[in-house]
Structure 1
Amino acid sequence: MAGRKYGLDLGTMNIRIFQGGHGLVVYEKNMIAIQRKKEVAAIGNDAFEMYERTPASIVISNPVRDGVIADINNMNKVAETLLKKCGCTTGFMRNNSFYLAVPSDVTEVEKRAYFDLIAHSAYNTHNIFVVEKPLAAALGENVDVKSKKGMMIVDMGAGTTEITVITMGGIVVSKLLKVGGNTINASICQLVKERHHLVIGDKTAEYLKLELGHAIPGQGRSKTVFGRDVITGLPSKAEVSDHLVFDSMKNYLFQVVRTIRNIMETIPPELSGDIIENGIYFTGGTTLIPELDRLFNASLRVKVVFAPKPLESTVRGLGVIMDHASDYKDLTFSLRDAAFE
C-alpha cells in the first residue's frame, strides 16, 4: 500500500505538520506534560493550557531547545501523538515518507537526531529526509532557491534566530543565534521585576510582547498585569508601559542587525550586490512585531521583505518539496547519505 508524505517543522514553541495533498493539518504547541516522572498528562495545546498552573507532580517542558531536539524521548511522544491526529498510520504495509526541517548551523550529531526521531518510532519506514530549514523557509515564500542570484533569509523564531545566505540551491553561510522571542519574554520578566517589584510568568510576558511590542519606541501605551509582589509575596498588579517592552527587546533586535552586517561584510561582493538588489527576506514568529520592517530598513539600508504568514513559511516549503520531490531531490538528505553515517 502506498504511503503518505508528511512534513514536520519542529519549532521550540510550535510544531507544524504538512500532509501531502492536504496542506497544513497540525499546528500545536511543542510541549509535553509528564506526571510522576513517567506518565504523559498532556501534549501540544493541552499541555500549554496547563503551563505555569501545574502541581509539583507534573512537569511541562519543550522537547526542542536552542533549535535542536534536546529530549528525543519526549519529542517522539509529541510527534507520534500529533501525527495520529492527522491520520498517520503505522504498520508494515504503510510505508510513509517524512520530511523534517533542520537548522543549517548545527552539528551532524544534532541533525542525526531528526532521523532517529522517526527511525526509532512506531512508523515502519526508511523514507526519512531532512531539509535545511533556511531552504525550506525560502521555498515557502516562493523564492527560487536554485537561482544563481544570492539571497539572504532571516528566520526569527521563539528559541533561535538563523541568518542564512543562499545561492544555487546551497548555503553559503549560516549563523544560528540562540536567542529569539523567548529571549524577549525572559527580558520582560526581568525588567518588570526590577522596575515594578512584580514577578510575572512567561505567559504574561508573551501577552505584554504581543500587546505592547513595537520596534519603534514612544507609542505611549500600557497594560495592567497581575503577578506576585517581590517584597510581600502577595498577589499584586502593575501598569507596564510599552517603553519597558521596547527596552526588553532592543538588545535582541540590535544583535540581529549586527550579525546581518557582519555576514554582509564577509561574503563575496557579488553576493552582497544580489542581496542589495533583491532585499533581505524575514520570516518566523518574532517578525510579527509591529514596525520591525522600518527598524531593519533604517538600520541595514537594504530593502526588507517580510513573509505574510511567517509562522508557516518553513512547513509550506516542505510541502513544496514533497509535491515536487524530483525537482528538489538535491535539497534533501536521506538516512543513507554519507554525511550522516
Structure 2
Amino acid sequence: MAGKKYGLDLGTMNIRIFQGGHGLVVYEKNMIAIQRKKEVAAIGNDAFEMYERTPASIVISNPVRDGVIADINNMNKVAEALLKKCGCTSGFMRNNSFYLAAPSDVTEVEKRAYFDLIAHSAYNTHNIFVIEKPLAAALGENINVMSKKGMMLVDMGAGTTEITVITMGGIVVSKLLKMGGNTINAAICQFVKERHHLVIGDKTAEALKIELGHAIPGRGKQKRVFGRDLITGLPANVEVADHLVFDALKDYLFQVVKTIRNIMETIPPELSADIIESGIYFTGGTTLIPELDRLFSASLHVKTVFADKPLESTAKGLGVIMDHASDYRELTFSLRDAAFE
C-alpha cells in the first residue's frame, strides 16, 4: 500500500499537521499533561484545558521550548497521538513520509532531534525530511524562494521570533530571538502584578493581549480581569487599561525592530535593494496584534507585507514541498545527509 505524506510544524504553543492531498488536518496545542510522573493524562487541546487548574500530581508542559524540541520523549507522545487522530498508522504501512520544519538558527544537534522524533517512533520509516522553517513559511505565502532576488521574512511565534534573509533557495542570514508572544504574556503578568498588586495566570494575560494589545497606544480601552490580591491573598478583580498592555509589549517590538535593522546593515547592498523593493514579509501568531504594519513601516521605512493566515504559513509551505517534492528536493535534508551524520 502506498504511503502517505505528513508535514509537521512543531511550534512552542501549537502543533499543526498537514497531510498530502487533505490539507491542514490537525491544529492543536503542543502540550502534554503527565500524571504521577509517568502516565499521560491529556494531550493537545485537552491538556491546555487543564492548564493552570491541575492538582500537584499532574504536570503540564510544552515539549518545544525556545523553538526547539526540549523534551523528545513527551514530544514523541504528543506527535504520535495527534498523528493517530488524522489516520496515520504504523505497522505494515511503513513507507509514510514525514516532513518537519525546524528553525534555521539552531545547532545541528537540535536539528537532529527532529529526525529522532520520527526515527524513534512507532512509524519505523527512513522517509524523514527536515526543512528550514523560514523556507517553508515563505513557500506557504506563495513567495518564490528560488528567485535570485533577496527577501526578508520575520516569523513572530509564541516562543521565538526568527528573522531571515533568503535568496536562491538558501538562507543568507538568520537570527533567532528567544522571545515572542509568550514573552509578552509574561510581561503583562508582571506589569499587572506591579501596578495593580494582582497575580494573574498566563491564560488571562493571553486574553488581555488579544483584546487590548495594540502596536499604537492611546485607544483608551479597558478589560476587567480576575486573579489573586498580592496583599490579602484573596480573589480580586481590577480594570486593566490598554496602555498597560502596550507597555508590556513595546520592549519586545523594539528588539524585533533593532534586530531587523542590524541585519539590514550587514547584508550586501544588492540584497538590501531587493528587500526595499519587495518589502519585508511577516508571519506567525504574534503578527495578529493590530497596527503592527504601521509600526514596522514607520520604524523601518520599508513596505511591510503581512500573512492573511499567519498561524498556518509554515504548515502550508510543508504542503507545497510535499506536493512538489522533486522541485524542492534541494530545500530538504534527509537522515542520510552528511550535515546530520
Q: In percent, how many aligned pairs have the same letter?
A: 89
In 2, Cα distance between equivalents of 1:20 and 1:336: 23
The residue number in structure 2 matching 1:172 is 172
Give the paired residue count. Answer: 341
Listed one character per residue, the Cα deviations across residues 281-322 of structure 1 (whole Å, up to 9, x for unaligned) are 000000000000000000000000000000000000000000
The letter for the 2-side match of 1:148 is: K
Listed one character per residue, the Cα deviations across residues 77-111 of structure 1 (whole Å, up to 9, x for unaligned) are 00000000000000134310000000000000000
Listed one character per residue, the Cα deviations across residues 16-63 of structure 1 (whole Å, up to 9, x for unaligned) are 000000000000000000000000000000000000000000000000
Residue 238 (str. 1) matches residue 238 (str. 2): yes
Q: Which moved more, 1:234-243 or 1:85-94?
A: 85-94
In 1, Cα distance between equivalents of 2:43 and 2:201: 20
Per the TM alignment, residue 2 of structure 1 is displaced from its structure 2 partner at its CA by: 1.1
The residue number in structure 2 matching 1:221 is 221
Residue 212 (str. 1) matches residue 200 (str. 2): no
The residue number in structure 2 matching 1:310 is 310
The residue number in structure 1 matching 2:182 is 182
The residue number in structure 2 matching 1:90 is 90
In 2, Cα distance between equivalents of 1:330 and 1:269: 26
The residue number in structure 2 matching 1:6 is 6
Whether contact under 8 Å (1:156, 1:180) holds in the other structure is: yes
Q: Which 4+ residue blocks in structure 1 deviate beyond 3 angstroms? A: none
The residue number in structure 2 matching 1:74 is 74
In 2, Cα distance between equivalents of 1:242 and 1:112: 42
In 2, Cα distance between equivalents of 1:105 and 1:197: 39
Correspondence 1:129-148 to 2 at 5 A: 129-148=129-148
The residue number in structure 2 matching 1:256 is 256
Listed one character per residue, the Cα deviations across residues 240-295 of structure 1 (whole Å, up to 9, x for unaligned) are 00000000000000100000000000000000000000000000000000000000
1:2 aligned counterpart, secondary structure: coil
The letter for the 1-side match of 2:189 is: C
The letter for the 1-side match of 2:222 is: S
In 1, Cα distance between equivalents of 2:248 and 2:153: 24
The residue number in structure 1 matching 2:293 is 293
Listed one character per residue, the Cα deviations across residues 157-184 of structure 1 (whole Å, up to 9, x for unaligned) are 0000000000000000000000000000
The residue number in structure 2 matching 1:274 is 274
In 2, Cα distance between equivalents of 1:183 and 1:6: 30
In 2, Cα distance between equivalents of 1:195 and 1:5: 51
The letter for the 2-side match of 1:80 is: E
The residue number in structure 2 matching 1:327 is 327
In 2, Cα distance between equivalents of 1:222 and 1:158: 24
In 1, Cα distance between equivalents of 2:93 and 2:11: 30
In 2, Cα distance between equivalents of 1:171 and 1:198: 45
Listed one character per residue, the Cα deviations across residues 116-156 of structure 1 (whole Å, up to 9, x for unaligned) are 00000000210000000000000000000000000000000
In 1, Cα distance between equivalents of 2:94 and 2:40: 26
In 2, Cα distance between equivalents of 1:281 and 1:14: 21
The residue number in structure 2 matching 1:337 is 337
TM-score, length basis structure 1? 1.00
Structure 2: stretches of 5+ with no match in the other structure: none
Whether contact under 8 Å (1:9, 1:15) holds in the other structure is: yes
1:89 aligned counterpart, secondary structure: coil
The residue number in structure 2 matching 1:22 is 22
In 2, Cα distance between equivalents of 1:232 and 1:314: 46
In 2, Cα distance between equivalents of 1:121 and 1:261: 42
